Amino acid sequence: MREATQALLSALERDVGGIAIIWCPDLGLREWLVGEVESVAPTAARPFRTSSVEDAIKEPTRMALLIPTDEKQVVLDLDGSRDRLRGDGEGRTQPVVLFLVRGGDGQRTLAEQAPSLSSWVSGSDTDPEAIAEIDVEAERELFKTRTGTTPKGWLADWRAGVTPRDGATYSLAYWAALLEEP
Amino acid sequence: MKTWIRLYEQHRSVRNEAGEQLGQELRARLKGLADRDYCDGAIVGRFNHRNKRGLREWYIGNDDGRVALVGLPTVSSASLTVLALVDAQNHHVHQFTAMLEGLNATGQPLTVAVHLEDDRGDQGDRKGSGACAHAALHCHVGPNQYVEPKLRVPFGAVGPVQALDWLLSSVVPDWEPAPWAAVMAVLAEKENQKGKPR
C-alpha cells in the first residue's frame, strides 16, 4: 500500500532541481500540506514560502514552497520561465514545490495552456490526501491477513485485556480502531 | 473529588488544543532524534498518516510500528512508538500513545508509556474505576504494562507533543524544551508587564 508521506518525498526527490506539484483537496488543506512538506524537507533544503515565481527563481539553492494567490497566473509564469528555472550553468539544487487545488484554475491552465510545463512535471506531482484516504475493505483484508482476525475481533480481545500491551500491539490497536466497523 | 474533576476537565481541553500541526510537531521530535543520531533518518518519511472518512491515524510505518533508538546512555535495545488518532476536520485528538521500551541500566526490562485514552464510544475515555486510578491522560513506568501492580500516574494538562517531550527528556541527554533559565525569563517578563502603567 502506498503511503502519503512516502509519495510526498518521492515527488520532492524525483527532480531535485525541477518542479513538484502537490495537489490539495481545498484551500484549508493546502495550508496543512505546506506544513507537511516543511516538516519532511531535509534541513539543508531550507524551505521558504512564497507566492511569487520570481522569488522562487532567485533562490536556486532553497526549496521554494510556491503558494499561489492566482493559480492560473503562476502556472503561466512557470511555463514561461522553464529555461530560467533550469538555470545557467549549475542550475537549481532544490525543487520548486507548487501547491494547486484539485480541479482548480491551476489544474485547468496546466492542462489547457501549459502543455510543456505539464510534460515537465509529469511524475513529479502527487496527491497525498488522496493516497492517505484508505480503501477500507482492502485494509481490513490486510489486517486480517496480518493478524488472523478482523479489526472488530482483534479489538474485542484488546479491550478485554487479553492482548499483551507493547509497542507492536498498540500499533495494531490504533490501526484496528481506524478500521473498526461502526 | 474536585481535584480529579478539574484534572479530567483539563484533559478534555487538551484534546482540542493540539491543532492541525500535531502530526508535524510529532514528526519534528522524531527528526530531532534522527538529527542527534539516536535513530535512523528515514523516520521522517516513515512517520505517516492514513485517513478514513474524517478520522486520521498517525503512525510509524515500520513493520511493528516502532523505531529503534540507539546510543541512549541509560536504555539499551530501545524502541519508540508514537501513535495518534485525530479528527481530520477539527483536529480533536481522540487518542494518543507514546511508548519507550528497552532495557534499563541494570539490564532489566523498562517501559515508559504515556496514554491519552480514546474518548469515543459509550464510556469514552472513562476507563477503570475512576478519574484518580485511571486518569484520561496518564503514564506507565515499569517493566511492562501488564505486570501488577499496574501503575497509572496521572499526567498534568499537557498535550500529546509535550507528553512526548517529557518521555524523551527522561532518556535523551539534553532533551529539555523548557530550560529553567528560559522559564524564569518568561516569568520575570510577566512580572515586569504587571508593574507597567496602562
| Tens digits of residue pLDDT in A15-30 | 888 999 999 999 989 9
Using a CB-CB distance cutoff of 8 angstroms, which residues of chain B are in contact with residue A179?
52
Using a CB-CB distance cutoff of 8 angstroms, which residues of chain B are in contact with residue A175?
57, 59
Inter-residue contact A139 to A2 (CB < 8 Å): no
Nearest to A19, CA basis, from A89, A98, A76: A98
Instruction: Read off the pLDDT band of A90 (50, 70, 90).
Output: low
Inter-residue contact B52 to A167 (CB < 8 Å): no
User: CB distance from B40 to chain A under 8 Å?
Assistant: no
At A85 the pLDDT is 81
**Cα–Cα dist B136/B158, whole Å:** 12
For A93-137, write each residue's pLDDT tens digit.
999 999 999 999 999 999 999 988 999 898 899 999 999 999 999
Cell of A33: 500540506
Nearest to B88, CA basis, from B19, B171, B183: B19
At A2 the pLDDT is 75
Residue with the three cell numbers 488544543: B17
Q: How many CB atoms lie within 10 A of CB B9?
A: 12
User: CB distance from B79 to chain A under 8 Å?
Assistant: yes
* Helix-then-strand count for chain B, H and E: 5, 8
User: CB distance from B28 to chain A under 8 Å?
Assistant: yes
At A87 the pLDDT is 64
> Can you give the three-state secondary structure of A130-172, one letter per residue?
HHHECCHHHHHHHHHHHHCCCHHHHHHHHHCCCCCCCHHHHHH
The pLDDT of residue B50 is above 90: yes
The pLDDT of residue A89 is above 70: no
For A67-88, write each residue's pLDDT tens digit.
999 999 999 999 998 888 876 5
At A181 the pLDDT is 78
At B195 the pLDDT is 77
Inter-residue contact B34 to B44 (CB < 8 Å): yes
**Cα–Cα dist A52/A67, whole Å:** 8
For B132-186, write each residue's pLDDT tens digit.
999 999 999 999 877 888 889 999 999 999 999 999 999 999 999 999 999 999 9
Q: How many CB atoms lie within 10 A of CB B4?
A: 14
Beta-strand pair B93-103/B76-87: antiparallel
B45·A38 Cβ contact <8 A? no
* Helix-then-strand count for chain A, H and E: 11, 5
The pLDDT of residue B198 is above 70: no
For B4-43, write each residue's pLDDT tens digit.
999 999 999 999 999 999 999 999 999 999 999 999 999 9
At B171 the pLDDT is 96
The three-class DSSP label of residue A11 is helix
Instruction: Read off the pLDDT band of A1 (50, 70, 90).
Output: low
User: CB distance from B123 to chain A under 8 Å?
Assistant: no
At A96 the pLDDT is 96
**Cα–Cα dist A29/B144, whole Å:** 39
B52·A4 Cβ contact <8 A? no
Q: What is the pTM of this model?
A: 0.94
Beta bridge partners of B85: B57, B95
For B83-98, write each residue's pLDDT tens digit.
999 999 999 999 999 9
Output b/e per residue, A111-129; b: 16+ Cβ within 10 A: eeebeebbebbeebbbbbb
CA closest to B29 among chain A residues: A39
Query: Given A39, A133, A170, which is nearest B51 (Cβ)?
Result: A133
Inter-residue contact B55 to B88 (CB < 8 Å): yes
- The ipTM assigned to this model is 0.94
At B196 the pLDDT is 73
